[in-house]
Amino acid sequence: MKICFVCQGNIIRSPLAEHIFMQFADAKGIADKYMVDSAGTIAYHTGERPDKRMRQVAAERGLVYSGSAKQFKRDDFARFDLIIAMDKANRQSLQSWTVTTEQDNKIRLMREFDSQGGTNLDVPDPYYGGPDGFISTFEIVKRSCEGLIEELEGGQNSL
């Protein structure tokens, strides 16, 4: 299965989700079943490394990662089976590019898979905040990735 995680700039939330998902998949011995990537809805940060503050929070929790930002393209709807938006604004941007119901149906929100998500389905963007926001976002993305893998592997797969 091919999955793309999408946030606005592809420097904080979506690359974090990409790498946490693969860390969980590796630990479960199922990494070969998935091809994951991440992208942004805007091109502003294209070519930049993931945000240093999030990489630091992740490293303190055992996840070291790298990569470079890229923008989601319309062709990506054909490349991916599942497109996970970090918040409603990202989903709306993605939906504005869809031309078929099939493409639209590929888009889900990250916190749909968060056991503590409740009615708040947005993963907060900590870019303009302090360190606590990065920690909170890390925990939300971690829970959501765990829930996503459980849904994909649990036989109750509605995806």
Residue ranges per domain, the chain?
2-153
User: What is the set of active-site residues?
Assistant: 7, 13, 125
CA 55 vs CA 26, 66, 96: distances in Å: 19, 8, 31
Residue percentage of the chain with pLDDT more than 70: 97
What's the burial of 130, exposed, middle or buried (CB within 10 Å: 0-12/13-18/19+)? exposed
Taking the CB of residue 116, how many other CB atoms lie within 10 A of it? 11
Give the model's pLDDT for residue 116.
94
Give the model's pLDDT for residue 109.
98
Give the model's pLDDT for residue 156.
54
- pLDDT band at 73, cuts 50/70/90? very high
Is residue 108 within 8 Å of residue 27, measured between CB atoms? no
- pLDDT band at 147, cuts 50/70/90? very high
User: 2-153, which class in CATH?
Assistant: alpha beta
- pLDDT band at 54, cuts 50/70/90? very high
Q: For residue 30, give the nearest of 70, 3, 56, 57 by alpha carbon.
A: 3
CA 46 vs CA 95, 102, 129: distances in Å: 21, 28, 22
In the predicted structure, residue 113 carries a pLDDT above the cut 60: yes
Q: Please list the helix, strand and coil fractions of the chain in percent, rounded to the nearest 5, in that order.
A: 45, 15, 40
Give the model's pLDDT for residue 155.
57
In the predicted structure, residue 114 carries a pLDDT above the cut 60: yes
